[in-house]
């Protein structure tokens, strides 16, 4: 037996007990004839003391222990003289009688402390050491408990967790599919699922009524900072429900897990139409933790001879409270920021409403103080506030300003931390017109239903009508992060065919790729709807963090590599031969 107790559980009332503990040497120090060792495991840290008066050879051995060595000690619990109130075990220590070194450790390449001195690359390479650090253990354990809480809640509500297959079929839409060559079926490939979408719909056809799954999904795409090729979803589907039922059910889930895991009552979630979110926040996932809403300035800013504004479809601004004191340099930096290609604005105009009542702007040549005060009036600006203004095409400009809003708020610490602001964004468009490719994309996915009252317009409308169709599609946003999204689904073969046609599928392509689903719709498919939450993202947001990587035990880097195990890698010629494959690039 390696231990009678773990390193986090002994208390004053255990004094006098003979105990055995095992763990890692967190730190050691000598003081007089005593050697103190902090022994650590997942559960906590317990102080062990070796007394050279009591047992000199043992104390001698203890002095030679190194950091991260794995040891087992046996001894007696006793009250500490110098108690450590910051540690649950801080009232006691173990006077050691025995010491066994279970395993030695080389000096770790970085310190195993809450704030490590290791760089990202080093920590990824020795992930098993990084995972020993307190903050990461806390994250990974949080994730495990959150998954349990989600499952218990949904299980109590008659949801059935069904495992859907990982080896499925690639679709031509699936440029981002990972594929898996089959040995038994020569020259053929499976694909890894980007989501279990069609399977969960089939489960509704099969009568499972309420499905969920916490499930790995896969996407082979160029990795942005915070994307992973494999990620985890809380995937759900319900039959005989409306959008209202889905929103209520998953608002219930979300409130439950915040209450259980964070002790926070989120209250009722506000709802906002997609159009309104874009209009007020320049984003389909507005962060409601702070204001700075977009203010349309066409009325007050156009017709004053400033050509840039006069020719723009939209002039729009935000009021940044108390930031009239930004320096020229700071304002230039913001201008540079919006001009970056990712944002794409041509320039940024500012107005300072100074504390002394004066007004100063970058367009003083065109607008006098009175005109600028009119802008301020529109925005509710007060002395000391700053206004930032963009102009151009309506939707594009709103999105640019929406990004700037987030950037300014983050840059100047204007976002309250430890506050959670959930929001349902609803009434998304069904289709998105891709000007470049001259085709429609599905805004959510091809299985999303238009709103019931839109079906007629969809079946009979012209091209412009299609652009304006609204869907029963919805996103859950918390603190400006998209936690999940879903929709009411099409469950009628004819409507699904029409949707594929709008999306540019020939009938043959639609049949070849999704014939099984459309076929299923002919055998008694119930009305159904669903949602999927990004589980990695939910973990991060609940802990006020922005990177999902710290909530994944073994993440890939942004080249999609696991640098610890060195994957992906070349494979044997024989393996390739068995798979009937040849690699067309040199090593």
CB 74 within 8 A of CB 20: yes
Using CA atoms, how far residue 442 sits from 415, 449, 464, in Å, is 33, 10, 15
Site string for its own copies, 358-397 (x = CB under 8 A): ----------------------------------------
Tokens of 230: 């494999």
Cα distance between the two ends of the chain = 50
Q: Is 210 annotated as a binding residue?
A: no
Identify residues 180-239 at the interface with its own copies (CB under 8 A). Answer: 180-192, 198-199, 202-203, 205-209, 216, 218, 220, 222-223, 229-230, 232
Identify residues 147-176 at the interface with its own copies (CB under 8 A). Answer: 147-148, 151-152, 155, 158, 160-170, 172, 175
Phi/psi region, residue 195 (left: phi>0; alpha: psi -120 to 50; beta: rest), is beta
How do beta strands 481-488 and 473-478 pair? antiparallel
Q: Is 18 annotated as a binding residue?
A: no
**Binding piece for its own copies, criterion CB under 8 A, among 259-267, 416-424, 442-450, 574-582:** 574-582
- Which residue of 18, 121, 553, 573 would you call a contact of its own copies, by CB under 8 A? 553
Q: Is 273 annotated as a binding residue?
A: no
- Which residue of 177, 385, 472, 497 would you call a contact of its own copies, by CB under 8 A? 177
Considering the complex, state which of residue 432 and residue 573 has its C-beta at the smaller distance from its own copies.
Answer: 573
Identify residues 19-78 at the interface with its own copies (CB under 8 A). Answer: 22, 24, 40-43, 68-70
CB 531 within 8 A of CB 244: no
Q: Is 534 annotated as a binding residue?
A: yes
**Binding piece for its own copies, criterion CB under 8 A, among 145-153, 278-286, 335-343, 463-471:** 145-153
Considering the complex, state which of residue 174 and residue 282 has its C-beta at the smaller distance from its own copies.
Answer: 174
Q: Is 444 annotated as a binding residue?
A: yes
Q: How far is the CB of 232 from its own copies (least distance, A)?
A: 6
Identify residues 269-308 at the interface with its own copies (CB under 8 A). Answer: none
Q: Is 219 annotated as a binding residue?
A: yes
- Which residue of 56, 102, 333, 410 would you call a contact of its own copies, by CB under 8 A? 102
Distance CA 67, CA 25 (A): 5
Considering the complex, state which of residue 83 and residue 104 has its C-beta at the smaller distance from its own copies.
Answer: 104
Three-point CA angle 310, 311, 314, nearest 5°:
80
556 binds its own copies (CB under 8 A): yes
Beta bridge partners of residue 101, listed in sequence order: 71
Tokens of 437: 């490719």
CB 465 within 8 A of CB 457: yes
Rg (CA), the chain: 30
Identify residues 229-248 at the interface with its own copies (CB under 8 A). Answer: 229-230, 232, 240-242, 245
Identify residues 463-522 at the interface with its own copies (CB under 8 A). Answer: 491-492, 516, 520-522
Considering the complex, state which of residue 96 and residue 318 has its C-beta at the smaller distance from its own copies.
Answer: 96
Q: Indicate the SS3 state at residue 78.
A: strand
Q: Nearest Cα to 265, choosing from 481, 144, 419?
A: 419
Torsion angles phi and psi, residue 110, rounded to 5: -150, 165
Q: How far is the CB of 192 from its own copies (least distance, A)?
A: 7
Three-point CA angle 419, 423, 426, nearest 5°:
170
Beta bridge partners of residue 567, listed in sequence order: 562
How many residues lie near its own copies (CB under 8 A)? Answer: 126
Identify residues 108-127 at the interface with its own copies (CB under 8 A). Answer: 108, 126-127
Q: Is 586 annotated as a binding residue?
A: no
Half-sphere exposure of 400 (CA within 13 A, CB side): 29
Helix H or strand E encompassing 37? strand 34-41
- Which residue of 13, 144, 419, 468 would you call a contact of its own copies, by CB under 8 A? 144
Buried b (16+ CB within 10 A) or exposed e, 420-436: bbbbbbbbbbbbeeeee
Q: How far is the CB of 187 from its own copies (least distance, A)?
A: 4
Q: Indicate the SS3 state at residue 198.
A: helix
Annotated binding site for ATP: 219-221, 228, 482, 534-537
Annotated binding site for L-aspartate: 173, 219, 444, 489
């Amino acid at each position: 037996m390696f231990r009678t107790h773990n390193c986090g559980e002994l208390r004053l009332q255990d004094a006098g007990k003979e105990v055995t503990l095992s763990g890692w040497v967190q730190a050691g120090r000598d003081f007089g004839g005593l050697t103190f060792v902090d022994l650590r495991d997942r559960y906590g840290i317990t102080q062990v003391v070796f007394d050279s008066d009591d047992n000199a050879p043992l104390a001698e051995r203890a002095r030679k222990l190194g950091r991260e060595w794995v040891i087992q000690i046996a001894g007696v619990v006793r009250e500490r003289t110098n108690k450590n109130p910051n540690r649950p075990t801080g009232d006691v220590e173990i006077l050691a009688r025995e010491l066994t070194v279970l395993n030695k450790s080389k000096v770790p390449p970085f310190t195993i402390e809450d704030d490590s001195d290791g760089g990202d690359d080093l920590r990824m390479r020795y992930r098993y050491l990084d995972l020993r650090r307190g903050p990461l253990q806390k994250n990974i354990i949080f994730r495990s408990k959150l998954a349990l809480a989600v499952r218990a809640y949904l299980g109590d509500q008659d949801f059935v967790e069904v495992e859907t297959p990982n080896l499925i079929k690639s679709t031509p839409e699936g440029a981002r599919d990972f594929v898996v060559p089959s040995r038994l079926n020569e020259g053929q490939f499976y694909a890894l699922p980007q989501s279990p979408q069609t399977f969960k719909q089939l489960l509704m056809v099969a009568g499972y009524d309420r499905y969920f799954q916490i499930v790995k999904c896969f996407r082979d795409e160029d990795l942005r900072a915070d994307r992973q090729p494999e990620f985890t979803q809380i995937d759900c589907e319900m039959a005989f429900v409306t959008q209202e039922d889905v929103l209520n059910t998953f608002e219930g889930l979300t409130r439950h897990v915040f209450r259980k895991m964070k002790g926070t009552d989120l209250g009722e979630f506000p709802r906002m139409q997609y159009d309104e979110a874009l209009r007020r926040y320049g984003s389909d996932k507005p962060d409601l933790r702070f204001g700075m809403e977009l203010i349309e300035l066409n009325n007050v800013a156009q017709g004053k001879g400033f050509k840039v504004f006069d020719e723009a479809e939209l002039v729009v601004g935000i009021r940044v409270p108390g930031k009239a004191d930004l320096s020229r340099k700071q304002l230039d930096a913001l201008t540079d920021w919006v001009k970056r290609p990712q944002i794409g604005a041509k320039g940024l105009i500012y107005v300072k409403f100074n504390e002394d009542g004066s007004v100063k702007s970058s367009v003083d040549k065109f607008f006098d103080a009175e005109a600028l005060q009119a802008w301020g009036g529109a925005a509710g600006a007060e002395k000391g506030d700053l206004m930032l203004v963009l102009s151009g095409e309506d939707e594009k400009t709103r999105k640019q300003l929406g990004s700037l809003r987030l950037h300014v708020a983050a840059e100047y610490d204007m976002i309250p931390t430890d506050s959670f602001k959930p929001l349902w964004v609803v009434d998304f468009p069904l289709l998105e017109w891709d000007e470049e490719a001259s085709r429609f994309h599905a805004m959510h996915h091809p299985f999303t239903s238009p709103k019931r009252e839109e079906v007629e317009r969809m079946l009979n409308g012209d091209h412009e009508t299609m652009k304006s169709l609204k869907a029963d599609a919805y996103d859950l946003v918390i603190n400006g992060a998209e936690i999940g999204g879903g929709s009411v689904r099409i469950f009628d073969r004819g409507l699904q065919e029409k949707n594929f046609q709008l999306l540019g599928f020939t009938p043959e392509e639609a049949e070849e790729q999704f014939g099984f689903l459309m076929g299923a719709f002919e055998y008694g498919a119930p009305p159904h709807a669903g949602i999927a939450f990004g589980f990695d993202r939910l973990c991060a947001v609940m802990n006020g963090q922005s990177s999902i990587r710290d909530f994944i035990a073994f993440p890939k880097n942004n080249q999609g590599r696991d640098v610890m195990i060195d994957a992906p890698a070349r494979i044997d010629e024989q393996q390739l031969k068995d798979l009937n494959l040849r690699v067309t690039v040199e090593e």
